[in-house]
């Protein structure tokens, strides 16, 4: 569904990504690096692209998802903008500030005790209770992938040799490769995944979809996924050159580098893409590189540790 999103409506609503070329970072690494920052996107992450595309395109008046992170906020705001009802399932131990953020956009927060009921179980209940509502997966949804592909349209004019994209469920990287193809670009796409949750890297190496045994404990909380989505896997398998596994140390180093050398506040998951470059710098020599900075929402306590 290359044309699942309605270009005109999306480009009116989403904010263009912020392209930054920090000379201190470029000089330090000796690389031609551009950051595409989604930290200033609506609700502070790229997820708004996906969420708004869902809200615009499905006929249902009620949307729901399970997300304690950026997709919950993004879907809540997209629903508000499009006059729809929204329900977000979140663990009851989620940070208050995240619960409040979702509520501030007018969505209902459905708090669950994950010791008693799993997220997918609760989603099944809701599906039975609200047959007319639309369940939006944060990554495994055609409208989500198509919404995310709008970022590739924006990058197309820059003629990057390489784009490095954080990978959790695979919704962003799937969108990026679809968008690159739609724009007839030859940009090579690298994934960047936490070593602690390297299901996608293992899947790509072995040619079959592999899951993590448990939710990864990585600091990159946007990549604490069990596996790639069903829709994402075939797109990634066919189009992604390599998924680089990034250590926790390099994720943290990347977040600090973006603080020190680019004046950019970013969330840990955003550190994956620059972290991948740090893992294998020679691979990127003499290339025009884009690292996607997925978002900026990070608790002050976590961030303080990272910039120390």
Candidates 58, 99, 101, 167; binder of its own copies (CB under 8 A) is 101
> At a CB cut-off of 8 Å and minimum separation 6, what does 11 contact?
150
Q: Judged by CB, which is closer to its own copies: 44, or 166?
A: 44
Q: What's the closest the beta carbon of residue 45 comes to its own copies, in angstroms?
A: 9
214 makes contact with its own copies (CB under 8 A): no
Q: What's the closest the beta carbon of residue 116 comes to its own copies, in angstroms?
A: 32
Candidates 14, 42, 199, 236; binder of its own copies (CB under 8 A) is 42
- Region binding its own copies by CB under 8 A among candidate stretches 22-30, 115-123, 153-161, 247-255: 22-30
31 makes contact with its own copies (CB under 8 A): no
**CB neighbour burial string for 98-135, b if at least 16 within 10 angstroms, e if fewer:** bbebbeebebebbebeeeeeebeebbeebeeeeeebbb
Work out the burial of residue 186: count CB atoms within 10 Å of its CB; fewer than 13 is exposed, 13-18 middle, 19 or more buried: exposed
- Region binding its own copies by CB under 8 A among candidate stretches 107-115, 117-125, 244-252, 294-302: 294-302
104 makes contact with its own copies (CB under 8 A): yes
93 makes contact with its own copies (CB under 8 A): no
Q: Are strands 62-66 and 85-91 parallel, antiparallel or unpaired?
A: parallel
Instruction: Please answer whether residues 118 and 66 qualify as being in contact, where contact means their C-beta atoms are separated by less than 8 angstroms.
Output: no
Candidates 67, 94, 137, 297; binder of its own copies (CB under 8 A) is 297
Instruction: Please answer whether residues 190 and 164 qualify as being in contact, where contact means their C-beta atoms are separated by less than 8 angstroms.
Output: yes
103 makes contact with its own copies (CB under 8 A): no
Angstrom distance (rounded) from CA 107 to CA 129: 18
Work out the burial of residue 180: count CB atoms within 10 Å of its CB; fewer than 13 is exposed, 13-18 middle, 19 or more buried: buried
Q: What's the closest the beta carbon of residue 48 comes to its own copies, in angstroms?
A: 10
Task: Give the interface with its own copies as residue ranges (CB under 8 A).
Answer: 18, 20, 22-24, 27, 39-40, 42-44, 77, 101, 104, 256, 259-260, 262-265, 295-297, 300, 303-304, 307-308
């Amino acid at each position: 569904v290359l044309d699942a999103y309605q270009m005109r409506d999306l480009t009116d609503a989403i904010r263009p990504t912020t392209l930054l070329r920090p000379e201190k970072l470029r000089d330090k690494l000796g690389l031609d690096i551009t950051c595409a920052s989604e930290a200033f996107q609506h609700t502070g992450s790229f997820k708004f692209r996906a969420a708004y595309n869902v809200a615009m395109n499905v006929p249902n008046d009620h949307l729901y998802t399970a997300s304690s992170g950026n997709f919950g906020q993004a879907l809540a705001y997209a629903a508000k903008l499009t006059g729809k009802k929204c329900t977000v399932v979140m663990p009851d131990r989620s940070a208050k500030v995240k619960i409040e953020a979702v509520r501030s956009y007018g969505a209902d927060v459905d708090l669950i005790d994950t010791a008693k009921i799993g997220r997918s179980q609760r989603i099944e209940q809701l599906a039975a209770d609200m047959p007319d509502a639309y369940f939006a997966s944060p990554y495994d949804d055609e409208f989500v992938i198509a919404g995310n592909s709008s970022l590739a349209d924006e990058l197309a004019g820059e003629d990057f040799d390489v784009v490095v994209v954080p990978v959790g469920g695979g919704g962003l990287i799937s969108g990026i490769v679809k968008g690159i193809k739609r724009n007839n670009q030859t940009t090579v796409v690298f994934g960047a995944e936490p070593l602690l949750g390297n299901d996608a890297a293992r899947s790509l190496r072995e040619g079959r979809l592999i899951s993590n045994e448990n939710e990864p404990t990585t600091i990159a909380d946007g990549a604490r996924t069990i596996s790639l989505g069903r829709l994402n896997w075939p797109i990634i398998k066919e189009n992604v050159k390599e998924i680089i596994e990034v250590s926790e140390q390099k994720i943290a180093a990347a977040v600090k580098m973006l603080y020190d050398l680019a004046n950019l506040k970013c969330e840990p998951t955003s550190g994956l893409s620059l972290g991948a470059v740090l893992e294998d710098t020679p691979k990127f020599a003499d290339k025009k590189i884009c690292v996607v900075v997925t978002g900026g929402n990070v608790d002050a306590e976590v961030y303080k540790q990272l910039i120390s």
